[in-house]
Amino acid sequence: MSALVDNSGKQIELVDLGITMSIPPGAVQERGSCKITLTSIQDPPCINSQGGEALACLGIKCEPPNMIFHQPVKIKIPHSAFIVNPDQVKPDIVCRSWDSVKDLPRTSRNRSSSSPDEPPYCKVYHRHLELYIGHCAEWWVLLPLEQQVIRHQLMCTPYIPEGIQRGKEIEVHLHVHADLPGINTEVLRDEKHQAYREAHRSVPFSIISHSGDVTVARDCEGKIAETKGSGAVEARFYYELIFIRNKLWELTKRS
């Protein structure tokens, strides 16, 4: 989403995703107006994990690159984490910008400052967070799952080709993504471009942290089944994929 912004400020909103960018008066001091673009980023940033940490990541991109704001700009982003005490969560903030001197991308990771007047700063609430930035770049907020975050909601959806021939193997696309507004719509649009359709309703998963261990909880017919450890998580996803593929295989043989 793009908008022309002048010295009086403006609000840019990604309606389908529930993301808003509030640019206060005086933040843009260009002559006339300036075109500012806000987009959501789905792919997680390339960062060095610290001690096998488990993180929930939320990202946005603001352009034009390296544009300076003269007042902190607030970006409201919904999240799908279930948090006990959001005021005690201390997120890290990743910034990816362009280094004009070295002519290379530059990525930094720092703990949020203690005040919105000193960006980058992030305040976490139960269902959303507020990120304050001082310039345009790619911004990511990292929520450590061991810090008051008891559960991170995910959705798992299988997609199959539009045309299925009897007796022929098919490739199933299994998408696992955060349970946030608009993401499933984007995935569905991408799959339609590949001539794929949704084969089954989305199945909810949850990522849980217990003293550093990660647990995946799957809601199956109203019951929660839990799996611990990254290896077991991969096995569970693989099992689900094979289970769904076998069910679809049975359907194609009957047709």
DSSP 60-88: EEEESTTPEEEEEEEEEEE--EEES-GGG
> What pLDDT, on a 0 to 100 scale, did the predictor assign at position 247?
47
Residue 166 and residue 246 in one domain: yes
Residue 172 and residue 247 in one domain: yes
Euclidean distance between CA atoms 49 and 26, whole angstroms: 38
Residue 216 and residue 153 in one domain: yes
The boundaries of the domain holding residue 137 are: 2-144
- Would you state the torsion angle of the CA atoms of residues 239, 241, 242, 243, taken in this order, to the nearest 10 degrees? 80
Euclidean distance between CA atoms 117 and 134, whole angstroms: 9
Span 30-82, pLDDT tens digits: 777 899 999 998 776 666 666 556 677 889 999 998 899 999 999 999 987 77
Residue 110 and residue 179 in one domain: no
Span 199-250, pLDDT tens digits: 888 877 766 655 455 555 555 554 545 544 444 443 344 444 444 444 445 5
What total number of domains does the chain contain? 2
Task: Please say which residue of 92, 122, 144 terminates a domain.
Answer: 144
Residue 45 and residue 129 in one domain: yes
Residue 36 and residue 138 in one domain: yes
Residue 126 and residue 183 in one domain: no
Euclidean distance between CA atoms 122 and 116, whole angstroms: 7
Task: Please say which residue of 120, 144, 168 terminates a domain.
Answer: 144
Residue 16 and residue 114 in one domain: yes
Residue position matching structure tokens 């990202």: 59
Span 138-197, pLDDT tens digits: 999 988 766 555 566 778 888 999 988 888 888 888 888 777 767 778 888 889 999 999
Residue 217 and residue 163 in one domain: yes
Domain CATH number, residue 85: 2.60.220.30
The 10 Å CB-count burial string (b at 16+, else e) for 117-126 is eebbbbbbee
Contact 159, 172 (CB under 8 A): yes
Q: Which helix (H) or strand (E) element contains residue 224?
A: strand 223-228
Residue 41 and residue 132 in one domain: yes
Secondary structure string (H, E, C) spanning 107-126:
EEEEECCCCCCCCCEEEECC
Residue 235 and residue 158 in one domain: yes
Neighbours of 90 (CB within 10 A): 13
Task: Please say which residue of 94, 111, 144 terminates a domain.
Answer: 144
